[in-house]
Chain A
């Protein structure tokens, strides 16, 4: 029985550290996951990677920041109202960007070669970055913390505390709520049914009276809206926006989407959370130097054994 007690003691000692990395990883993973959904939804329906999606997220972050600054000048200091305004305005404007990008850069190319919209997406990404660099300037924009402080979850014998920030709670809860809402939307509403129909066979869906163009547009709008939520969260969380921030986040989120199984909504979320956790635990228990290497190595390993990702369905060849 002695060893059991010893083990319990050891676990009890290691727990706060573990919990701290769990909190950090989950928060980061939620953000990656929200962006990854935009990649995976678009891929699910039109089979194309929207490389401008990371930059849509960057646009969302800038919109949220601008709303926050306007709140400041108008004297709106009640935090819940600030958050609500940021959420509504940033999501609405960023969704408009998502819609426009689809209209301008992808729809005219639909039905042509597969690579054409992909190249167009890269062009859009470059355009959006340079546009923001020109209108907002190239320097990182600092944002004052809106929500700070947190609660102590666990305390270790030597005084180490696992801290859970209020903002981290908001981020994770908001992500869970959005995911629940989205699952309902896809499985229970007529729009969700139309999306699933387009995913399976676009031509057949249009023959059966589904407005394919509208469905695809709405998919882009929803993806951009979720990216805007992620952008708003990082504006509050890190408080440091620059025109280039969409690139790294986009690559990570894309990786998350592929890891989870591109085309699958729960997969994107799972992939995002996994990447966040791998980064956090790797930095914590090994070295922060190689955390990206760790994340990408896991991706490679998963793809070797499950080429369609963790939750992806094996592809049925369309004839």
Chain B
């Protein structure tokens, strides 16, 4: 056979590799999902033996249990966030069950692993529907939550995301009349409203670059920030994008350095922002780096190293110090786990649903959704009220700055 022919087949083979690359991820995840589920099911039982025993009489009396789910990137490069969601959910379920469950029934937790891959998220959603879940806390990435929400909405399952901040997540379903979608975090436009004017004020007359990673989360955020920044009288010097999960950002950094940029705003996830930070400092580019809530994990520091000092991000004002969260935070710390990032948002999502389901006296999606909107619900995040679209009516944002000790500290609100 001639080599010419084989060169032609190469192209075909290359596409094969690409296709396999995608499929393989799903397979790997599918294999891991059941494992994590079992583990998760075992964990709360082990952690709270007293609670389970105490409540054991109740389900036996009423019979049956209610299956709820938490879904997010339990594996993959954003697994740090998946763990936050899982931890929060497990704790909430254990606490609710200890208090007698929902409508007299005990809750059972299913865990879905979407690796923040939109295709995987749809699979996970279908899988959870098959398992008959009454409620889903998730997903994490906006790019996953949005496609998955179609499936939950169709089945009338209440979905509360603890972390997806893209406005479309609630905006689009609300415009179609879907009422079962909520979130316990802020929206990118709110985060943009917070970050944009701040950038314009703090860096007045300085050169500003805005980057994003082309993802639903990153791009949405960067666009909102850019819009509000310009509305407040700022001028963007460079607006560019990069590919998520890229390793080499040196050319992009040289370009920013060439334009003598003073501050870079990045809409993207912590791995990429960490690498950009580290490579910037190595190249002698010392502009301020500002990003958003995806940096809310200690993993950012392990990637950026000491270069991460001074990097700031916007996020909901920490709930860890709220009075409403005091007991739960203490319980987490007693288990040697710091409830960072979205742990409490995840806890609150389940708490809010359980509270509403108790009020409604049913786990039926439409009734719970009405109960969620009807009155403010006390959670670890304080009293949460949802508007017509399912967004929180009030979110306080704050700046967090990474210090030299590898800890992010919240700046005082003003």
Contacts and interface: CB of A to CB of B under 8 A. Distances in A.
A118 B13 contact: yes
Band of interface residues on B: 35 or more
The interface centre, meaning the residue of B14, B241, B248, B284 with most chain A CB atoms within 10 A of its CB, is B248
A283 B75 contact: no
A292 B243 contact: yes
A114 interface: yes
Contacts of A24: 250-251, 254
B256 to A, nearest CB: 10
A238 B282 contact: no
Given A140-B303, A150-B282, A283 B79 contact: no
A20 B305 contact: no
Interface of A: 17, 20-21, 24-25, 27-28, 47-49, 51, 114-115, 118, 122, 125-126, 129-130, 133, 138-140, 142, 144-145, 148, 150, 152, 158-161, 163, 165, 234, 238-240, 242, 244-245, 247-248, 251, 254, 258, 262, 279-281, 283-284, 287-289, 291-292, 307, 315, 317-318
B322 interface: no
B255 A315 contact: no
Contacts of B251: 21, 24-25, 28, 279-281, 283-284, 288, 291
B260 A159 contact: yes
Contact of A315 (B2, B9, B303): B2
B77 interface: yes
Contact of A254 (B14, B240, B279, B282): B14
Contacts of B20: 122, 125-126
B339 to A, nearest CB: 20
Given A24-B251, A139-B77, A49 B10 contact: yes
Interface of B: 1-4, 6-7, 9-10, 13-14, 16-17, 20-21, 24, 28, 75-77, 79-80, 115, 214, 240-243, 245-248, 250-252, 254-255, 257-258, 260, 271, 274-275, 278-279, 282-284, 299, 302-303, 305
B252 A317 contact: no
Contacts of B302: 142
Given A24-B254, A144-B305, A238-B247, 18 more contacts: A20-B257, A20-B258, A24-B251, A47-B3, A125-B17, A139-B299, A142-B303, A234-B247, A238-B275, A240-B247, A240-B271, A240-B274, A280-B250, A284-B251, A284-B255, A287-B241, A289-B240, A307-B7
Nearest to A27: B250
Given A122-B20, A161-B284, A238-B275, A288 B252 contact: yes
B258 A165 contact: no
30 contacts: A27-B250, A28-B250, A48-B6, A114-B1, A114-B9, A118-B9, A122-B17, A129-B24, A130-B28, A138-B77, A138-B79, A139-B76, A140-B303, A145-B282, A148-B282, A160-B257, A160-B258, A160-B260, A161-B257, A240-B247, A240-B303, A244-B245, A245-B247, A247-B21, A251-B17, A283-B251, A284-B254, A288-B242, A288-B251, A307-B4
Pairs of residues from A and B, 3 with the lowest C-beta to C-beta distance, nearest first? A283-B251, A280-B251, A24-B250
Nearest to A244: B245
Contacts of A307: 4, 7
Contacts of B1: 114
